[in-house]
Amino acid sequence: MNFTEAVKQAMDARGMSRADLARATGRSYQYISDLLKGERRWHELIINEVCEALEIKIEFTGIAIDGEEESPEFIDRFTNDNNRDGHAESEVIT
C-alpha cells in the first residue's frame, strides 16, 4: 500500500473529508485534493502534518530492491551508496 492509499483509508475510517483534512493541516482544499489525486508530490512536512491530523504514524520496515527485501548488511551498504536504484518500504500504522 502506498502512502496516499493509506491516507485515504485513514480518512474513511475517521469519517474525515478532504476539506476536514485541509482544515486540520492548515492547507488549502485544492492542495490536499491534488496530493490525494497524485497531481502533487508528498514531502516530509506535509506527510508529518497529515499523520498528525489523522493520528497515524509511519513505520520503516526495510528496503526492497526489485520487490525483494534485502539483508541488513546490504541495507547498510545501500544507505551509503547513492548509485543503487531502490526504494524504501513503509507501513502506516493507524
pLDDT in tens, 42-64: 999 999 999 999 999 888 777 77
| Domain boundaries, position 82 | 58-93
pLDDT at 70 over 70: no
Cell of 20: 476536514
Same domain, residue pair 50 and 62: no
- The total of structural domains in the chain comes to 2
pLDDT in tens, 8-23: 999 999 999 999 999 9
Give the CATH number for residue 16: 1.10.260.40
- Report the distance separating Cα 94 and Cα 54, nearest Å: 8
